[in-house]
Structure 1
Amino acid sequence: MPEVQPVRALVTGASQGIGRAVALGLAQAGFTVAVVARSARALDELVEEITADGGRAVATAFDVTDASAVAAGVHALELELGGFDLLVQSAGRIEPQEVPPWEADPAHVRAVLEANVLGPFHVARAVVPGMVARGSGRVVDLSSGAASKDSGAYAAYAASKAALFRLGGAIAAAGAPHGVLAFELSPGVVRTAMSTSMSQHADRTEWTEPEAVVEMVRAIASGQLDAWSGRFLRVGADTPESLRAAEPRLGPTTRKLVVTPYGPDDPLA
């Protein structure tokens, strides 16, 4: 495995769960990490932990759904660090009840869509122009298996992750001429406050280890998986090694969000 060169990373949703694990893992690997979440206190504790371990981290608290706060916060972080080579979008939420779409609370649906779609859009809008100007950058969206298949529950969450997949694909397509890549990374099922609140995981005994998610993010950041830009990766089913081995088999629509034609005579084919 090639040596990962230290870069400047911005991690949203870094105060807890997968975002926190990714921030710690990147810092331990030598990355300078900017951490973002709504809780300033939790971020301060995270920065203290990283610096006590010999790493470098800075923090700014803001809500990703607030476009003005995102723009101001990212600008302040860029002034301090000089911009970002890696963006990990981990901030997100899920509706509190596992019900069919017609029983979902509209307020919960709106909150999920704002956090999981508008939030990443605001952050990408603030961060990606700097990547374009420098001619390189990688965006990692924390996705979900819910983005790639239909389910009768958590429709807002699934819709938001599918929309995020399409947004990431747009960044990959528009960013490619400028050296900017984007990846949709499903972390598997990590034991977090979100996953343990879901009734479908009530009896689960096997969980994805956070270290596996960190390993995949590091592989993306180091350029090992650039051929997978715009595509769906899943920790647990995939490893950096298996993905590199599969590269010769990639087609135009492999692991992308597409409508499959019914046959060669389908007008959509």
Structure 2
Amino acid sequence: MADLDGTVALVTGASTGIGRALAEGLAARGASVAGLARGAERLSAAMADVATATGSRTLAVSADVADLAAVRAAVARVEAELGPVDLLVNNAGLIDAAEVPVWEADPEQWWSVVESQVRGPFHLVQAVVPGMVARGTGRVVDIASGMSTRSNPDYTAYSVGKTGQLRITEALAASGVLAFDVAPGVVDTPMTRSMAMWDGYEEWTPVEAVVDLVAAIGAGRLDAWSGRFVRAGKDTVESLSRVTPAATQRQLRLLPHGDDDPVA
């Protein structure tokens, strides 16, 4: 397993699902882990359980990722109590409430999903990345989705938000920050179970596959993949380590209609 001794990780959406598994998996590898979520009571219980299970230091910081002031205050507390953040994992986010075409979606709920997936990571980047740049070290992981790279007519807000995250990741990488898109596949979580499209689905991606990729990124083993998309359950640390991506491989781009396409 990746050795994360001395690493300070901040995981958003850490009270349940993939975020909860990431918090425990990173802590089990030696990281000090701060979990961030809106629900203070459930988050505190989750982080206490992680500390008991792993022996690593944890911290629960309650905040809404859509509130920049709250995010800045939460990050300041993490840095004061655990130290500078070495690994930021943007995992928190909402999902469309109903599988409907975009013109039938509830406007407020639709926008709240996009905000959680784009404004949330943007706020965390604003609060955390300046310190990484000043120190010349640190990594950002955005939890992506297959819906980042292809349209889904029933989950338009989620698709829009996750595609926006890809662009944030690429902007960070183009600015010299090590940043990665990690799609978790179809993990058995309460959020996934709430989505009608997965009714009866059984071929779940093991959440450990997600943890393995994020931990390897945190340990600096996959830096060649900065600014690119990887997928748990399909990609492994070993398979990715054997490849050095080039040009726009594993990035979202227009496909040219031919060699003479002027927009390619």
User: Same fold by TM-score, threshold 0.5 exceeded?
Assistant: yes
Does 1:266 find its partner at 2:228?
no
Measure how far apart 1:246 and its partner are: 2.2
Encode CA deviations 1:57-94: one digit per residue, 9 max, x unaligned.
Answer: 01110100011111111112112222111001110010
- 1:251 CA drift (Å): 2.1
1:35 Cα deviation from its structure 2 partner: 0.8
Q: Match for 1:239 among 231, 236, 239?
A: 236
Alignment of 1:251 onto 2:246: yes
Using the alignment, how far apart are the partners of 1:109 and 1:2 within structure 2?
A: 38
TM-score by length of 2: 0.96
1:2 shift after superposition: 6.2
What letter is aligned with 1:243? L
Task: Classify 1:152/1:181 alpha carbon distance in 2 versus 1 (closer, same or farther; 3 Å).
Answer: same
Unaligned runs of at least 5 residues, structure 1 = none
Structure 2 counterpart of 1:232, which letter? F
1:192-213 residue CA offsets vs partner (Å, 9 max, x unmatched)? 1111111110010110111111
Q: Which whole-Å CA distance do the structure 2 matches of 1:52 and 1:19 have between them?
A: 17
Structure 2: segments with no counterpart, 5+ residues: none
Tell me the CA shift for residue 6 of structure 1: 3.5
Q: CA deviation at 1:40?
A: 1.1
1:222 aligns with 2:219: yes
Secondary structure in structure 2 of the residue aligned to 1:246: coil
Query: What's the counterpart of residue 106 of structure 2?
Result: 105
Superposition TM-score, scaled by structure 1 size: 0.95
In the TM superposition, 1:97-176 aligns within 5 A as 97-174=98-175, 176=176
Contact residue 5 and residue 222 of structure 1 kept, 8 A: no
Instruction: Measure the CA separation in 1 of the matches of 2:29 and 2:104.
Output: 45
Amino acid at match of 1:205: E
Matched, 1:206 2:203: yes
Give the equivalent residue in structure 2 for 1:18: 18
SS in 1 for 2:141: strand
- The structural deviation recorded for 1:12 is 0.4
Equivalenced residues, count: 263
Q: Quick check: 1:6–1:29 contact (8 Å CA) kept in 2?
A: no
The answer to whether the aligner puts 1:7 opposite 2:7 as a matched pair is yes
CA separation in 1, counterparts of 2:49 and 2:81?
Answer: 20
Moved over 3 A (4+): 1-6
Q: Distance in 1 between matches of 2:27 and 2:2?
A: 17
Please state how far the C-alpha of 1:5 moved relative to its aligned partner.
4.0
Q: Deviations over 1:5-57 (max 9, x none)?
A: 44000000001000000000111110000110011111211222122231110
